Structure 1
Amino acid sequence: MYELKTKKTDNSVIEFIEAVESPKKREDAYKLLDIFKETTGFEAKMWGPSIIGFGSYHYKYNSGHEGDAPLVGFSPRKAKISLYFAPGETKREQLLKSFGKHTTGKACVYINKIEDIDENVLKELIIESVKFLRETYPEK
């Protein structure tokens, strides 16, 4: 059976951020911590060894695969900062047009530093993601 790699842990978010090598990435991580917490109303929790997540939802796919994941989150990785949100494909693309300097992967948006992006658009992406996931995977 498939074992989820990214599970909520009791590891310290602050200790994780303090271990980030780059002082600039550490500073940005604290700023993102404040933005995500203020925007979602959720406390930050570590998911796996390197994702700082906010809130959670339970998903179940048609294939039968199911699990829990953070509603939104981020990770200050060595190369870039990964942002995790899922505001629905159309809404996400629309918001990213005015987001600022970024690249995208399948599930992530990557930024170099906070100064490269519009913080208000970030907050909107967070809000839309929480709304979309709550509607898609309602709590039972």
Structure 2
Amino acid sequence: MYELKTKETDASVSAFIESIDNPKKREDAYRMLDIYTETTGLEAKMWGPSIIGFGSYHYKYASGHEGDAPLASFSPRKAKISLYLSMNENDRVILLNQLGKHTAGKGCVYVNKVADMNLEVLKACILRSMSYLKSEEVRLA
């Protein structure tokens, strides 16, 4: 049976952030924690060893694979900050074009530092992603 690697843990978010060696990265992680907490209205929890998540949603694929994942999340990685954002393609194009300096994969957006982003657009991305993950569009995928 497949065991999810990324699940909610009881680990301390602040202890994780304090373990970040680079003082600038640590400062950015605390800033992101504040932004996500304020925007989501939810408590931060650790998901796996390095993802800071807010809330959760249940997913189930057509294959039958299912599980829980954070509704909103980010990870202050050594190289870049990973933002886990899920949006429909139209919202994704519009909002990411306004976000600021970043690179993007299918489900992740990578930024070097908080100062590179338009924080109002980041907040809109977080809210849009949460709304999308709660929608029927995702549940039926």
Quickly name the TM-score band, shorter chain normalised. over 0.9
Q: Is the 8 A contact 1:54 1:73 kept in 2?
A: yes
The CA deviation at 1:95 is 0.3
What aligned pairs does 1:11-90 form with structure 2 within 5 A after superposition?
A: 11-90=11-90
Query: In structure 1, how many angstroms separate the alpha carbons of the residues matched to 2:55 and 2:70?
Result: 5
SS in 2 for 1:97: helix
Q: Aligned partner of 1:38: which letter?
A: E
SS in 1 for 2:99: coil
Q: Aligned partner of 2:123: which letter?
A: K
The CA deviation at 1:115 is 0.7
The CA deviation at 1:122 is 0.2
The CA deviation at 1:94 is 1.2
Q: Which of structure 1's runs of 4+ aligned residues deviate more than 3 A?
A: none
Give percent identity, aligned residues only: 65
Mapped pair 1:5 → 2:13 = no
TM-score (norm 1): 0.95
Query: In structure 2, how many angstroms separate the alpha carbons of the residues matched to 1:106 and 1:87?
Result: 10
Q: Aligned partner of 2:43: which letter?
A: E
The count of aligned residue pairs is 138
Q: Aligned partner of 2:19: which letter?
A: A
Q: Aligned partner of 1:120: which letter?
A: E
Match of 1:93 in 2: 93
Q: Aligned partner of 1:41: which letter?
A: G
The CA deviation at 1:90 is 2.1
SS in 2 for 1:87: coil
TM-score (norm 2): 0.94
SS in 1 for 2:91: helix
Q: Is the 8 A contact 1:87 1:126 kept in 2?
A: no
Query: In structure 1, how many angstroms separate the alpha carbons of the residues matched to 2:93 and 2:61?
Result: 23
Match of 1:115 in 2: 115
Unaligned segments of structure 1, at least 5 residues:
none
Q: Aligned partner of 1:86: which letter?
A: S
Unaligned segments of structure 2, at least 5 residues:
none
